[in-house]
Amino acid sequence: MNISALLTSAGINITLSVALLWLYSILRKQPSLANVYFGHRLAQVRSKHHNPFCLDSLVPSANWIVKVWETSDEEIFATGGLDAVVFLRMVVFSTRIFSIAAIMCLFLVLPLNYFGQEMQHKQIPSESLDVFTIGNIKLRSRWLWAHCLALYVISCCACILLYYEYKSITKMRMAYVMGSRLNPSQFTVLVRAIPWSSRESYSTSVRKFFANYYASSFLSHQMVYRSDTVQKLMIYVRKLSCPSIVVVTKILLASSESDAEKIYKMLKSNPMDQHCGLSFMRCGLCGGTAKAFKILSSEPESANGRREFANPDLREKECAAALIFFRTRYAALVASQAMQSSNPMLWVTDLAPEPNDIQWTNLCVPYRLLWIRRTTTLLSSILFMVFFLAPVTIAQATAFQQQEEVFCLILSAGRINIMNFYVREDFDPAGYRVSTKCDIDAISIFTGTAIERLGKISSAKSIPNQLSRAVPSAATFFMTYVLTSGWASLSCELMQPFALLCNLFDRFFIRNKDDPSYGSYSFPYHTEVPRVLLFVLLGFTFSILAPLILPFLLVYFFLAYLVYRNQILNVYITKYQTGGLYWPIVHKTTIFSLVMTQLIALGIFGLKESTVALGFTIPLIISTLLFNEYCRQRFQPIFRSNPAQVLIEMDRTDEQCRRMEEIHQQLRSAYCQFTSTSCKPYEAVDLNANENRDDDRLQDPEDMALGDKSRAHGTQVEFSHLGIEEVNMK
């Protein structure tokens, strides 16, 4: 490939991207597509009327870019939360470091590469791309010190930038923790593996244990129940509001009297469910069919035995897991960190997940089986990755022209597979997925370039050499990869083709006049973080080997900044906040890319027999690893647990402001197992006022349990983060 071919390819891709952006600027003005391009805004302001059609909506404009550019970080934080801010910081970091790398490499390294051999140069447009890589430098050339210098500058700048990013994100996270005063998970501990006793129920055991050992701080507890048919039935009943009384009648007629009794008891057992139960009974009463319920509701309610089940039938449904609420955040932290019993596999405590992050079905898995599941998952993922290497190697064996498509295909396949694979198991979804995705991408790069001739690698010693031989030759491929896959993915992200097609299909074939509910997805961090990290890896590894890739990458990152900002502001809603928990993974992966770059450079310097450059690179690698270790010591603990000092201060402030009682009240109803609107438990009471609103806020909890949170489903889910904020404002 020569320069003119590269420029042609770039031209085609630029034209395509500009065309798509242009199309987007028209489409976003169409009122009928508002739910595709303004899902987030619509979720906030549902009552707005559609604007009538006007000609102005067909004129393309760059207004949206200006708007996106002018948006402040505070607005991003208010819209997308800390996760969105951290994601954009990652993009900004990439832009910065590759700007520096571009300056260093285009003005220092590139000319040296070009004049590296004493040869007759052709005219630049018809020059081969290989002339611009480090491959063009002579053996034992004195100019390799320039590459070494560039490597030093890039590494140092990357480390300095990474340090300040980590520092500022840590600060933001602390502010986030201190700001989320009403986060119920801070007060709650999840206890598993409650020992079974024939004399008393799990509930009694839990109450006795915590009242005994945590007498001063124990507030209350909530058992986790196995979901069986009755509970499933209840979910269906709850999903239906009064108007659809026919279905309620049908369900009630179908269920036996004993089932009705179970439902009634279940409703009584939970304060949240009590409210729902009232409304449900109202439904039942207005239909006049639920005889069984009328009988049951006349039974007097026991005073304090609300959570106590003398009934062995209900006791059987208890899982060996419970949520324990404490009076203070610090007490919850303490209880979560200590090993409770002398058998470490009993009374296992951990800080509870946030109400929206909890997967109730997973909590019922016996703790002694959990480690087997974890081990199986780990083994399967290793096997998966091993078998994932094979197709990539096959792809390498095919012709270069076909390679790109195969590669992209495999990447996508890998993405889909890995998503299906992990989506059920994940408890801390963002973290787990991101890390696995990163691994997969890193491995695909690895295989795509380094293990090109797998059979030829004779010993571990020669791996750097093999890597360094393989990487420059792959530079051209990855340059086109950035041009096509990188830029195209951003346009795709902007256009939302899947949602667009769904919308069109819905409108023209089903002729659904209502606002369709798809379009409100949460930001796909699990695919976008690894994608950006893959380009960071590409950028680092090729920066001093083939600097021509850097301008294309810079364009990608700049475009990514605009596109993702726009999407966060307009399209995606925030279902779940990790509070920037995934930054350590980003940091680690960037360091991995950096060390990989240095190792490849080491190999190249070895091949070029430049001992001075070789000698100078080794301390650089050691320093980078030490820097990583330092950051791990200095910042990572903050992402693992909250500092005692901060929690104690928060507790004190709340006590001084006499807010604690209020928080304790809200705590009791924060976690609801048999409802999908976990953060707004009291809304269901006022049925007549909110029925429409509740209707489309409800989501099938079974879907949730199966983990189908991905955008492909298109079900609309409640915007929990906002929910928390609303509670905050009370």
120 binds a second copy (CB under 8 A): no
Structure tokens at 213: 């050992």
Q: Which is nearer to a second copy, 165 or 694 (CB)?
A: 165
- Closest separation in Å from C-beta 454 to a second copy: 10
Residue 179: how many other CB atoms lie within 10 Å: 13
What is the nearest approach in angstroms of a second copy to the Cβ of residue 328? Answer: 12
Is 453 a binding residue for a second copy by CB under 8 A? The answer is no
514: Cα separation from own chain's centroid = 30
CB of 645 to a second copy, least distance (A): 5
Q: Which is nearer to a second copy, 11 or 344 (CB)?
A: 344
Closer residue to a second copy, CB minimum distance, 566 or 628: 628
**633 sits near a second copy (criterion: CB under 8 A):** yes
In one letter, which amino acid is 325? F
Q: Is 634 in the site for a second copy (CB under 8 A)?
A: yes
* Both structure tokens of 446: 């690895």
- Residue 626 beta carbon to a second copy: minimum distance, rounded to whole angstroms: 7
Least CB distance to a second copy at residue 457 (A)? 8
Residues in 358-377 that interact with a second copy by CB under 8 A = 371-372, 375
Contact status: 253 vs a second copy (CB under 8 A): no
- Asked if 340 is part of the footprint of a second copy (rule: CB under 8 A), the reply reads yes
- Decide: is 638 part of the binding site for a second copy (CB under 8 A): yes
Torsion over CA: 21, 22, 28, 33 (sign): negative
Contact pick of 285, 643, 726, 728 for a second copy (by CB under 8 A): 643
Is residue 260 part of the contact set for a second copy (CB under 8 A)? Answer: no
Q: Which of residues 262-281 bind a second copy (CB under 8 A)?
A: none
Q: Does 386 bind a second copy (CB under 8 A)?
A: no
Q: Which of 62, 644, 657, 712 is the binder for a second copy (CB under 8 A)?
A: 644
| 386-395 CB contacts, 8 Å cutoff, 24+ apart | 388/414, 388/440, 388/443, 388/444, 389/443, 389/447, 389/451, 392/444, 392/447, 392/448, 393/447, 393/451, 393/454, 395/448
Q: Which is nearer to a second copy, 655 or 686 (CB)?
A: 655
Q: Is residue 7 within 8 Å of 34, Cβ to Cβ?
A: no
C-beta of 338: minimal distance to a second copy in Å? 4
Q: Which of 100, 251, 278, 648 binds a second copy (CB under 8 A)?
A: 648
Scanning 458-466, 490-498, 499-507, 683-691 for contacts with a second copy by CB under 8 A, the matching segment is: 458-466
A 10 A CB-CB count for 378 gives 10
Q: How far is the CB of 191 from a second copy (least distance, A)?
A: 12
* Residue 658, helix vs strand vs coil: coil
Given the DSSP bridges, would you call strands 318-326 and 348-351 parallel, antiparallel or unpaired? unpaired
Among 58, 247, 295, 345, binds a second copy (CB under 8 A): 345
Q: Which is nearer to a second copy, 14 or 646 (CB)?
A: 646
Q: Is 187 helix (H, G, I), strand (E, B) or coil?
A: helix
What's the residue count for the chain?
730
Count the site residues for a second copy by CB under 8 A. Answer: 37
By the 10 Å C-beta count (0-12 exposed, 13-18 middle, 19+ buried), 401 is classed as exposed
Q: From the CB of 523, what's the least distance to a second copy, in Å?
A: 27
Side by side, the strands of the sheet bearing 188-192 are: 218-225, 318-326, 188-192, 348-351
Q: Is 645 in the site for a second copy (CB under 8 A)?
A: yes
Q: Are 190 and 351 in contact (CB under 8 A)?
A: yes
Query: What are the residues facing 322 on neighbouring strands?
Result: 191, 223
Strands (E), 57-131: none
Q: Is 198 in the site for a second copy (CB under 8 A)?
A: no
Least Å from the CB of residue 537 to a second copy = 25
Binding of a second copy at residue 333 (CB under 8 A)?
Answer: yes
Characterize 610-646 residue by residue with b for buried, 16 or more Cβ atoms within 10 angstroms of its Cβ, and e for exposed. Answer: beebbebbeebbeebeebbeebeeebeebbeebeeee
* Whether 624 contacts 159, CB under 8 Å: yes
Residue with Cβ nearer a second copy (102 or 631): 631
The structure tokens 């001063």 sit at 216
CB of residue 451 to a second copy, shortest distance in Å: 13
Give 297 or 465: the residue with its C-beta nearer to a second copy.
465
Phi, psi of 350 (to 5 degrees): -155, 155
Residue 713 token pair: 């489903």
What phi and psi, each to the nearest 5 degrees, are found at residue 651?
A: -60, -45
Per DSSP, the three-state class of 401 is helix
Selected from 304, 342, 401, 688, the binder of a second copy by CB under 8 A is: 342
By DSSP bridging, strand 188-192 and strand 318-326 are antiparallel
Q: Using CB under 8 A, which of the segments 13-21, 486-494, 597-605, 629-637 binds a second copy?
A: 629-637
Decide: is 389 part of the binding site for a second copy (CB under 8 A).
Answer: no
Per-residue mark of binding to a second copy, 25-64 (x: CB under 8 A): ----------------------------------------
Residues at the site binding a second copy, with contacts judged by CB under 8 A: 174, 213, 333-334, 337-345, 347, 371-372, 375, 457-460, 626, 629-630, 633-638, 641-646, 648
